[in-house]
């Protein structure tokens, strides 16, 4: 049994809201990061390049791990979810340890957002410049193998690994499932595999997303694991009771918290949320107002104070 004790889901959800807000701000904003004035066209980046759909789920997983596990390494399979990883590292103060300009204040938020996916700034994907990253995730498939590699001969380690359900269709990810057989001894670190079942990849549904819970669980069981079904309301508890050989299937809605429909097209809960769900908020007043409503929905001023910092 690993974990700290009972989970405070209220504070967990606040942290997820803060991280989600920072993701959206990184993707879209070049100024007015705290929304002190109405959002204007000039606040929007001139080039939008990043991925939204996977980020809320990553924020839930990372925040749940922070509540449930004392010390862990984190391997992110879908490296395009970088803004979520970056937001969580920022909130925890891991970024300010390597760059004082990324301190947890309004200037730090400005740098985090302005320089995301920007020439000379941060890349759009996880990279070796990011503290703790051992798997870049631009080419999908290597997360589980990287996690087991890091655990090899390190019984003191706990390594959580998030595998995308699109990534789970790669030969590499599926072959890595066999590693549980040779990594089951406590001479090695504990690997916590988490399949991110958000149902969609770039341009359509995933195969795992179209399976029943039973069919998917049988597949996982066939590799020698015990499948554990989870969602955002119980993931942290499942992590507390996690034991070697468990495999978490974490269901989330792709793009949750973002726009549901834009111009008649279903965005959240669909592959259309995978990248940037609003194409022209700089030039389209309707999209600008959808973005402002989206940002305001997180009520970030309740979670971050310019003098006190995060109040999570």
Q: Within 229-288, which residues bind ligand TPP (CB under 6 A)?
A: 254, 274
Tell me if 220 contacts ligand TPP by CB under 6 A: no
Q: Pick one of 26, 30, 54, 158: the residue that binds ligand TPP (CB under 6 A).
A: 54
Tell the smallest beta-carbon distance from residue 251 to ligand TPP (Å): 12
Cα–Cα distance between 40 and 97 in angstroms, integer?
A: 33
Q: Pick one of 43, 59, 73, 167: the residue that binds ligand TPP (CB under 6 A).
A: 167
Tell me if 202 contacts ligand TPP by CB under 6 A: yes
Task: Please identify, using beta-carbon distances, which residue of 15 and 274 lies nearer to ligand TPP.
Answer: 274
Q: Within 117-146, which residues bind ligand TPP (CB under 6 A)?
A: 138-141
Q: Pick one of 29, 44, 63, 78: the residue that binds ligand TPP (CB under 6 A).
A: 78
Q: 């004082």: which residue's tokens?
A: 100
SS3 sequence, 12-67?
HHHHHHHHHHHHHHHHHECCCCCCCCCCCHHHECCCCCCCCCCHHHHHHHHHHHHH
Q: Pick one of 20, 165, 232, 287: the residue that binds ligand TPP (CB under 6 A).
A: 165
Q: Pick one of 50, 145, 149, 164: the residue that binds ligand TPP (CB under 6 A).
A: 164
Of 205, 303, 194, 289, nearest to 253 (Cα)? Answer: 205
Residues engaged in binding ligand TPP (CB under 6 A) = 53-54, 78, 80, 138-141, 164-167, 170, 196, 198, 200-202, 206, 254, 274
């Amino acid at each position: 049994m690993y974990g700290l004790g009972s989970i405070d889901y209220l504070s967990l959800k606040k942290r997820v809201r803060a991280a989600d807000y920072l993701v959206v701000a990184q993707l879209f904003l070049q100024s007015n990061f705290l929304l002190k004035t109405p959002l204007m066209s000039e606040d929007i980046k001139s080039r939008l390049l990043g991925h939204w759909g996977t980020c809320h789920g990553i924020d839930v997983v990372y925040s749940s791990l922070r509540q449930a596990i004392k010390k862990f390494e984190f391997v992110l399979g879908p490296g395009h979810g970088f803004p979520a990883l970056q937001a969580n590292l920022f909130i925890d103060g891991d970024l300010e340890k390597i760059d004082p300009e990324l301190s947890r204040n309004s200037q730090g938020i400005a740098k985090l957002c302005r320089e995301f996916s920007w020439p000379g700034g941060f890349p759009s994907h996880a990279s070796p410049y990011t503290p703790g990253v051992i798997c870049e995730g631009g080419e999908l498939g290597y997360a589980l193998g990287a996690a087991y590699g890091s655990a090899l001969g390190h019984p003191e380690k706990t390594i959580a690994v998030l595998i995308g359900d699109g990534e789970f269709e790669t030969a590499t990810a599926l072959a890595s499932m066999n590693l549980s057989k040779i990594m089951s001894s406590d001479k090695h670190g504990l690997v916590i595999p988490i399949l991110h079942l958000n149902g969609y990849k770039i341009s359509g549904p995933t195969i795992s997303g179209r399976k029943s819970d039973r069919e998917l669980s049988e597949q996982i069981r066939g590799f020698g694991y015990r499948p554990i079904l989870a969602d955002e309301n119980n993931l942290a508890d499942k992590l507390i009771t996690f034991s070697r050989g468990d495999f978490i299937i974490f269901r989330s809605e792709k793009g949750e918290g973002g726009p549901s429909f834009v111009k008649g097209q279903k965005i959240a809960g669909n592959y259309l949320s995978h990248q940037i769900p609003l194409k022209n908020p700089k030039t389209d007043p309707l999209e600008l107002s959808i973005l402002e409503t989206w940002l305001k929905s997180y009520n970030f001023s309740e979670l971050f104070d310019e003098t006190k910092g995060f109040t999570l």
